[in-house]
Chains A and B, each alone.
Chain A
Amino acid sequence: MIALLLRDLRLAVRAGGGFGLGLAFFLIVTVMVPFSVGPESELLARIAPGVLWLGALLSCLLSLDRLLALDWEDGSLDLLATAPLPLEAVVSIKALAHWITTGLPLVLAAPVLGILLNLPLEGFRWVVISLFLGTPALSVIGTFGAALTVGLKRGGLLLSLLVMPLYVPTLIFGAEVARRGAMGMGVETPVLMLAGISAAVIALMPFASAAVLRINLR
């Protein structure tokens, strides 16, 4: 399992691996927002948590179609399916690798980009915490979407449409944590909901992903 994780990380950072694609997209979205909504710092401070969350979500979405499609194209998915690793482990590891290469950099970049959006000082902590809790769910749900659409040519469109509704709860509670944190309100309930969603998704989704992958590999 560690071998698979290391391979995926290595592939991501080598040439053409797509590491940084999500990060660059996140950067572009958040840098462009102040230009598009105008230079009112009060307005920016109010929408900053939401913009950061939306940017992180879209960046995650952007890199999903490579998650399993590359392994499908070169045949290694077939070979992995016949290897001693259970497919549940394969998809979990793939989701973990996706989170490390996409989600984690977003979490780390969010406070820096928060400055550009005039994020209130109290908000930084909660933006980072909410993204840290929420992005794993985005990766795991995304892996499910990738497993559903693997083998389809240009499956990216279908993948986005399938995954979008599944992302909504995470987005709602994640952005709510960040918004309440930035306004200095109590965040307990949305934090617990967000963490609960992530925990449930991480525990259950790999089985669904492996099941649809098995059907898709036939």
Chain B
Amino acid sequence: MTLNVSDLRIARGGLPVLEGISFVLKPGAALILRGPNGIGKTTLLRCIAGLQPALSGQITGGEEQIAYAAHSDGLKPALTVTENLRFWADVFGTRSIKHALEAFDLTTLRDRPAGALSAGQKRRLGLSRMLVTGRAIWVMDEPTVSLDQSSVALFAAAVRAHLGAGGSALIATHIDLGLEAEILDVGPYKAAPLAFDDFDGGFL
């Protein structure tokens, strides 16, 4: 599945933040998003994941193909690592969670409640969710926050394996993951401030 984004214009809280974004993400390829804080990387990823509509422009090829990882991991502290992961596997209709536990070195923590994990371990569990989704396009927002160096290596290995299997990844990160990936700096695409002619727009 090739993700095609053309001339995208997006807004956060009713104010345009980025415009003219175009890229193509082919199977087996990764694209790294860069840009200063607040430029709209998260908004762009949420648009692509389908959580919010774009002002204009087109996103094609991503329908039912995207697995999205946000800032927060969506873990339930009262459930164990296995139960958390099993839930997402069931929701996405995939079976095995073993490979996901192994890929992020969570096997020894499998019966621990997610609430008792450290920040980095939680993050690893959140990222392992991507492996049980069985979806081709990974859209990830700052996935390496609170990961130590060896966990970052685990993550990079997982992404590399995913790319090798024909998947693709769109990652907003400032860390060098050691991937052969294109880099898209969204800084130059900053939208011009909007004149307030569309007063009702913020409510729609």
Contacts and interface: CB of A to CB of B under 8 A. Distances in A.
Interface of A: 2-4, 7, 10-11, 14-17, 71, 74-85, 217-218
Contact of B68 (A4, A71, A82): A82
24 contacts: A3-B86, A4-B91, A7-B76, A7-B79, A10-B79, A11-B78, A71-B74, A74-B72, A74-B73, A74-B74, A75-B70, A75-B74, A78-B51, A78-B70, A78-B74, A79-B129, A80-B91, A81-B50, A82-B68, A83-B91, A83-B92, A84-B64, A84-B91, A218-B51
Interface of B: 46, 49-53, 64, 66-79, 83, 86-88, 90-93, 129
A7 B88 CA distance: 10
A96 to B, nearest CB: 16
Give the dominant DSSP class at A's interface. Answer: helix
A79 B92 contact: no
A75 B71 contact: yes
A203 B92 CA distance: 25
A76 B86 CA distance: 14
Give the dominant DSSP class at B's interface. Answer: loop
Contacts of A77: 74
Nearest to B126: A75
B68 A78 contact: yes
Contacts of A79: 68-70, 74, 88, 129
A17 to B, nearest CB: 7
A217 B78 contact: no
Contacts of A82: 49-51, 66-68
Contact of A75 (B52, B73, B87, B88): B73
A4, A76, A79, A85, most chain B CB atoms within 10 A = A79
B115 to A, nearest CB: 9
B138 to A, nearest CB: 12
Given A78-B68, A82-B51, A3 B87 contact: yes
B69 to A, nearest CB: 8
A145 to B, nearest CB: 19
A38 B180 CA distance: 79
Nearest to A73: B72
Nearest to A90: B91
Contact of A76 (B67, B74, B83, B93): B74
A84 B27 CA distance: 21
A84 B68 contact: no
A85 B78 contact: no
Nearest to A215: B204
Contacts of A218: 51-53
Contacts of B71: 75
A4 B67 CA distance: 18
B51 A76 contact: no
B90 A75 contact: no
A78 B129 CA distance: 14
A16 B77 CA distance: 10
A78 B93 CA distance: 18
A15 B76 CA distance: 12
A75 B126 CA distance: 11
Nearest to A218: B52
B7 to A, nearest CB: 21
A10, A16, A218, most chain B CB atoms within 10 A = A218
Contacts of A4: 87, 91
Contacts of A75: 70-74
A83 B134 CA distance: 11
